[in-house]
């Protein structure tokens, strides 16, 4: 396997951003669901599930050529994006503990990225 390149990391980061919109949409859709049929035809749920699939398709070229041990930890950035998007779109609040967690995730991913 060849060494992981920055374009591969960029693709994985793009994928995490696409992935982050999925749980936001699933939560918005879940509020209106009372049955399986409603879930299947709920626009937000369908788009949320589709974004998960699209994010995995986006990441395939990076995984094909890069080191999984380098690339996959970057997937944890999706937690950062979800937290930030939850504040913006769901009006959720961020506690100090959540900010510390985000900082630690970014720090960990940065250390992995610097080791490339």
Q: pLDDT digit string (tens) for 45-85?
A: 999 999 999 999 999 999 998 899 889 999 999 999 999 99
pLDDT at 9 over 80: yes
Report the predicted TM-score, pTM, of the whole model to 2 decimal places.
0.86
Residue 2: pLDDT above 70? no
Q: What is the dihedral of CA 83, 21, 13, 98, to 10 degrees?
A: 10
Domain ranges of the chain: 6-114
Residues near 18 by Cβ (< 8 Å), separated by ≥ 6?
51, 54, 55, 58
């Amino acid at each position: 396997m060849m060494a992981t390149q920055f374009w591969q990391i960029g693709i994985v980061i793009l994928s995490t951003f696409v992935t982050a919109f999925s749980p936001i949409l699933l939560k918005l859709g879940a509020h209106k669901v009372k049955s399986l049929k409603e879930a299947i035809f709920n626009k937000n749920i369908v788009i949320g599930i589709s974004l998960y699939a699209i994010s995995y398709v986006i990441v395939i070229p990076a995984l094909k050529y890069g080191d999984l041990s380098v690339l996959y930890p970057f997937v944890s950035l999706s937690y950062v994006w979800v937290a930030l998007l939850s504040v913006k779109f769901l009006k959720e609040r961020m506690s100090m503990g959540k900010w510390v967690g985000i900082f630690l995730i970014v720090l960990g991913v940065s250390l992995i990225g610097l080791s490339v």
